[in-house]
């Protein structure tokens, strides 16, 4: 073991130079899978949330269903799909999308439900059309909640993408898997570190996006102005 540690350090910097193409490809694939999964997840979650808001009785079944999907062990779910969709990107993306749904649907519902009743009442009472009410009043007010949901979903997905390595996709996960198979620490360290950094960078970007989209939440109220 002592010898192994000596010859198998946490990281060998030459690896990054020699295998840079491999690392870069893995990183790009990781980003692609993450963004694709979250984007598709947002589309599906929006539809589900719209149904839940429009037909209230569906809200419980929908959240229960997305919670159920969330509880399936990821390794099992990726494996389960192989007989149907093969070792492909589809096999990787379907579970990734599935895992985003609970968080995204919940945050969209919370966001829309957080719209003050008086605001809703005023918007309706002044004769705004239903579409105008949703897109110019309710959606903007739900944005802070939705962005928070997207941030959690994105960070979670970055982690889950590594698991998709078992079906041949998985971006940085493949480096990790490679390292595990060869008991060679360097690819594992590189894969894990880049995965963490990617999660942080995406989270920070989304936080910034959220701030840019909600300028009204940053101004001080009259109380704060008074104490200044």
Q: Are 99 and 156 in contact (CB under 8 A)?
A: yes
Question: Is residue 222 near other proteins by the rule CB under 8 A?
Answer: yes
Number of residues that bind other proteins (CB under 8 A): 25
Question: Is residue 219 near other proteins by the rule CB under 8 A?
Answer: yes
Comparing CB distances to other proteins, the nearer of 83 and 125 is 125
Question: Is residue 127 near other proteins by the rule CB under 8 A?
Answer: yes
Alpha-carbon gap, residue 72 to 80, rounded angstroms: 11
What string marks each residue from 31 to 70 as x (binds other proteins by CB under 8 A) or -? ----------------------------------------
Positions in 141-200 near other proteins (CB under 8 A): 141
| Residue 134: both structure tokens together | 């949703």
Q: Are 31 and 205 in contact (CB under 8 A)?
A: no
Alpha-carbon gap, residue 175 to 182, rounded angstroms: 11
Question: Is residue 18 near other proteins by the rule CB under 8 A?
Answer: no
Residues 6+ apart with CB under 8 A from 28: 171
Q: What are phi and psi of 198, to 5 degrees?
A: -60, -45
Comparing CB distances to other proteins, the nearer of 80 and 143 is 143
Q: In the bound complex, what is the minimum distance in angstroms from residue 122's beta carbon to other proteins?
A: 3
Q: In the bound complex, what is the minimum distance in angstroms from residue 46's beta carbon to other proteins?
A: 19
| Residue 30: both structure tokens together | 């990781």
Q: In the bound complex, what is the minimum distance in angstroms from residue 111's beta carbon to other proteins?
A: 12
How does DSSP classify residue 10?
S
Alpha-carbon gap, residue 148 to 48, rounded angstroms: 18
- Of residues 81, 108, 38, the one with CA closest to residue 167: 81
Q: In the bound complex, what is the minimum distance in angstroms from residue 227's beta carbon to other proteins?
A: 14
Comparing CB distances to other proteins, the nearer of 83 and 221 is 221
Cα atoms in the Cβ-side hemisphere of radius 13 Å centred on 153? 33
Piece of the chain touching other proteins by CB under 8 A; list 33-41, 70-78, 80-88, 123-131: 123-131
Q: In the bound complex, what is the minimum distance in angstroms from residue 188's beta carbon to other proteins?
A: 46
Binding site for other proteins (CB under 8 A): 116-129, 132, 137, 140-141, 214, 216, 219-222, 225
């Amino acid at each position: 073991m002592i010898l192994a540690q000596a010859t198998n350090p946490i990281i060998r910097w030459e690896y990054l130079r020699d295998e840079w193409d491999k690392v870069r490809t893995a990183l790009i694939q990781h980003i692609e899978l993450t963004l694709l999964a979250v984007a598709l997840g947002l589309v599906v979650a929006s539809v589900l949330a719209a149904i839940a808001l429009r037909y209230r009785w569906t809200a419980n079944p929908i959240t229960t269903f997305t919670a159920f999907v969330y509880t399936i062990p990821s390794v099992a779910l990726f494996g389960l799909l192989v007989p149907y969709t093969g070792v492909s990107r589809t096999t990787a993306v379907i579970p990734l999308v599935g895992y985003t749904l609970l968080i995204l649907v919940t945050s969209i519902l919370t966001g829309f439900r957080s719209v003050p009743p008086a605001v809703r009442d005023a918007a309706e009472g002044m004769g705004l059309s239903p579409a105008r009410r949703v897109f110019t009043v309710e959606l903007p007010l739900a944005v802070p909640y939705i962005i928070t949901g997207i941030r959690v979903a994105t960070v979670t997905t970055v982690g889950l993408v590594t698991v998709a390595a078992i079906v041949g996709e998985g971006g940085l996960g493949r480096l990790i898997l490679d390292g595990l198979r060869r008991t060679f620490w360097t690819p594992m360290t590189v894969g894990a570190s880049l995965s963490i950094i990617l999660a942080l960078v995406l989270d920070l970007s989304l936080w910034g996006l959220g701030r840019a989209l909600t300028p009204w939440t940053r101004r001080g109220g009259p109380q704060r102005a008074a104490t200044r």
